[in-house]
């Protein structure tokens, strides 16, 4: 493709809530931390490498009997979400990276390379950790 030589009506969409095709054989609960697995399908957060943090599930969707992509889940993005603290995150971790433990929990470290990044820690409270 060549560079523009005139105005272009570039399509766009709101990316605050996206429908993401789900992985086969899984269930995602409303409010869960959602990731994209290595093949790009949504699944609940877990301790794993090669997954990408997506955001929070806006609904519960059951794809336990479906193939990859048979169902989609609405995932909210571009906000900070309060996840459970595994106990390792303190005020000293403010603005550092949080790492995914499961579909509701984050940690301060990648546990020697076994966890994927969730996002930046923007607040620490007694009942959870705000991650953007």
Domain coordinates in residue numbering, the chain: 17-76, 81-131
Number of CB atoms found within 10 A of residue 34's CB: 27
The confidence score (pLDDT) of residue 73 equals 98
Region of 127 please: left (phi>0), alpha (psi -120 to 50) or beta.
Answer: alpha
Q: Is the dihedral of CA 16, 19, 20, 24 positive or negative?
A: positive
pTM over 0.85: yes
| 132 residues of the chain, pLDDT tens digit each | 899 999 999 999 999 999 999 999 999 999 999 999 999 999 999 999 999 999 999 999 999 999 999 999 999 999 999 999 999 999 999 999 999 999 999 999 999 999 999 999 999 999 999 999
């Amino acid at each position: 493709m060549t560079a523009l030589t005139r105005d272009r009506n570039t399509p766009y969409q709101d990316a605050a809530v996206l429908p993401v095709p789900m992985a086969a054989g899984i269930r995602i609960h409303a409010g869960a931390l959602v990731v994209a697995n290595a093949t790009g399908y949504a699944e609940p957060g877990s301790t794993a490498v090669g997954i990408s943090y997506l955001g929070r599930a806006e609904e519960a969707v059951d794809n336990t009997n479906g193939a990859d992509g048979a169902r989609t889940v609405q995932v909210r993005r571009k906000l900070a979400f309060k996840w459970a603290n595994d106990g390792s995150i303190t005020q000293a971790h403010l603005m550092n990276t949080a790492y995914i433990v499961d579909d509701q929990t984050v940690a301060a470290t990648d546990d020697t390379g076994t966890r994927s990044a969730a996002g930046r820690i923007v607040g620490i409270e007694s009942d959870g950790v705000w991650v953007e």
